[in-house]
Structure 1
């Protein structure tokens, strides 16, 4: 046997396909939630559109008719419905962020187990988290946009700065959604999801300047109100709608909400990794 016959060529190593970057993978996770929403969007019409509209009518025009009879000096000289409309927008964005981050995230782990199926793919836990947040951001933007259209249709906007109401409302909603999602993924029982709504959202709605100025609260509780994220969102939306927002206060409100969002993103990247890595 010749030496050439004994020579064996080393096997060629096939080049593995390159893994898509995190942005691409996050959008793939987002498309999964978008596909699901295309089949279930009708169930969200009431909570997303009609509920806030009726709430604005009851509080703004119903209660507002009684408030306006006693003068509007404490409201800055505007009618009560004009005063409360941007605050209801802020509350609506907060509820949209929390509602889309708590129960769907828990369901992704325990009910429909979408997260469990997603981790069997090339998606990393951080991609699953960011993709879901993209969908939550879309839902917040849709709900806020519809409400802003209603505000404009009823003549409740008095400033051209109101064109920035949509990004302000989305920022507020995402500031609540990121920490809620980061926390919800760690839960083992669904009863705990009622706590942020019962002890968080409801007190914030009542004492963050939504229905009356914070200056009417007792002096000892005002600093607590000023420290809440909803107050910053209400003040930002109201200032844009009424045209009373200054550059300094805008920077304060946006910085606070952006910092809360960044903290939620940091926290969520770690809680998702702990829960979804085997």
Structure 2
């Protein structure tokens, strides 16, 4: 009797259905980190601290909260992607062994990866959309074109997420994740132009910021929000982020196959 083969799209939907079933029962555990914390940060830094910052050349002539909001949308996506790409993936391999259960069915390791990435992308889209709605309600974002910041934020998050998922698939212990947060996430949060223009940093630091997905996402989100987005630079940002996603998928397929077929 032949083995039933599940198509790639159907397999991804099955994986998403699994994640959604879990999330419906446990969503309260993620409300603070995914939704409430970014909004509190916007209020504290944008409205509180921002009241002491005058609109000027550094903020493009905008109030500080307006300058900050699209960047925080992107950082929200990137930071949420980090957790979903580290502890959650490691747990599915090592502790809960969810992935092993999946590949005991006709779903392949590559399809497990694709389903995981699709679920993370949906989570990021929901988180950034909620943040955008709250920022609009607070008056921090007023431009209709700011809706484009949501897919740009998701793309930036996935550009960091996909390679990190592949990295997590190689870990036997979660110790390395602390270094990821300490030496990648925190510097990327603080020094990629979200809170002040990148031109304020020393010249030798700027190329490090240019290499991060967060900077490209922030440039796209601010350009869309302020109406300053230009076609060629935008295509360059999107191409770079898409290349990182593709690299992560290629590496992830290799590591998932190796880990789940031993």
Give me the TM-score of the superposition, normalised by structure 1. 0.91
Check conservation: 2:74, 2:154, Cα contact below 8 A. Answer: no
Number of residue-to-residue matches in the alignment: 262
Q: Which residue of structure 2 aligns with residue 113 of structure 1?
A: 97
Q: Which residue of structure 2 aligns with residue 58 of structure 1?
A: 44
Q: Which residue of structure 1 aligns with residue 31 of structure 2?
A: 45
- Given candidates 15, 21, 28, the residue that maps to 1:35 is 21
Deviations along 1:62-86, whole A, 9 cap, x unmatched? 1111112xx5222111111100111
- Pair 1:254 & 2:238 matched: yes
Check conservation: 2:6, 2:107, Cα contact below 8 A. Answer: no
- Given candidates 138, 147, 155, the residue that maps to 1:163 is 147
Partner-residue secondary structure (3-state), 2:53: helix
The RMSD of aligned alpha carbons is 1.3
Q: Which residue of structure 1 aligns with residue 11 of structure 2?
A: 25
| Displacement after TM superposition at 1:158 (Å) | 4.1
Check conservation: 1:72, 1:80, Cα contact below 8 A. Answer: no
| Rounded Cα–Cα distance in structure 2 between residues aligned with 1:173 and 1:40 | 22
Partner-residue secondary structure (3-state), 1:190: coil
Q: Which residue of structure 1 aligns with residue 159 of structure 2?
A: 175
| Rounded Cα–Cα distance in structure 2 between residues aligned with 1:183 and 1:89 | 25
Check conservation: 2:82, 2:161, Cα contact below 8 A. Answer: yes
| Displacement after TM superposition at 1:17 (Å) | 5.9
- Pair 1:80 & 2:32 matched: no
| Rounded Cα–Cα distance in structure 2 between residues aligned with 1:226 and 1:104 | 28
Equivalent positions of 1:1-278 (< 5 A) are 16=2, 18-68=4-54, 71-278=55-262
| Rounded Cα–Cα distance in structure 1 between residues aligned with 2:208 and 2:107 | 41
Give me the TM-score of the superposition, normalised by structure 2. 0.96
| Displacement after TM superposition at 1:90 (Å) | 0.8
After the TM superposition, which of the residue ranges 202-211 and 27-36 deviates more from structure 2? 27-36
| Displacement after TM superposition at 1:163 (Å) | 2.2
Unaligned runs of 5+ in 1: 1-13
| Rounded Cα–Cα distance in structure 2 between residues aligned with 1:216 and 1:43 | 38
| Rounded Cα–Cα distance in structure 2 between residues aligned with 1:96 and 1:57 | 19
Check conservation: 2:35, 2:127, Cα contact below 8 A. Answer: yes
Check conservation: 1:29, 1:131, Cα contact below 8 A. Answer: yes
| Displacement after TM superposition at 1:20 (Å) | 2.2
Deviations along 1:66-119, whole A, 9 cap, x unmatched? 112xx5222111111100111111110001111111111000011111112112
| Rounded Cα–Cα distance in structure 1 between residues aligned with 2:195 and 2:180 | 21
| Displacement after TM superposition at 1:160 (Å) | 2.9
Partner-residue secondary structure (3-state), 1:163: helix
Task: Select the structure of larger CA radius of gyration.
Answer: 1
| Rounded Cα–Cα distance in structure 2 between residues aligned with 1:218 and 1:258 | 28
